[in-house]
Amino acid sequence: MRRAIEIILGGGLAVLLIGNGIAMLFAGPWWYGAVPGAPSTGPFNAHFVKDIGAAYLVCGAALAAFAWRPAAALPALAAAAAFLTLHAAVHVADAIASPICGQALVRDVPGVFLPALISLGLLAGRVFPLKELGHA
């Protein structure tokens, strides 16, 4: 059961992160206008969007590798989880400083906080494995 969850969550998140990274790298202006909240951070900066797109692409590749070979790709998953979690922490800090804090936090749940939580959950499941129900 754990393995199926790793494949579904890791593989699914990999597809989303790789897609996001590709959009950021090759369709940055479109991506910037399409992502809720991005325009409120300031004017479009192509280099910055591509840099972050590259990070998303690498995180997606790490999650794909984990979904395929979890033991071998555990260090890659840890690095992806670290980036995604630090990225989420930046969003929390920005939201706290914002007059629309609650709105910013809710807006960022699907695209920022869930990827961090999923990657941390996958990592925790390997580092601190629980025995499956019904197995001794």
What confidence tens digit (pLDDT) does each residue in 33-79 have?
A: 999 989 988 999 999 999 999 999 999 999 999 999 999 999 999 99
Residue-wise over 49-63: b if at least 16 C-beta within 10 A, else e? beebbebbbbbbbbb
Mean pLDDT of 9-38: 97
pTM for the structure as a whole: 0.91
Distance between CA 17 and CA 24 in Å, rounded?
A: 10
Q: How far is CA 133 from the centre of its chain?
A: 29
Dihedral angle sign, alpha carbons of residues 60, 8, 81, 128: negative
| pLDDT at position 134 | 57
pLDDT of residue 56: 98
Q: In the chain, pLDDT over 90 holds for what percent of residues? A: 84
Quote the tokens at residue 47: 């280099």
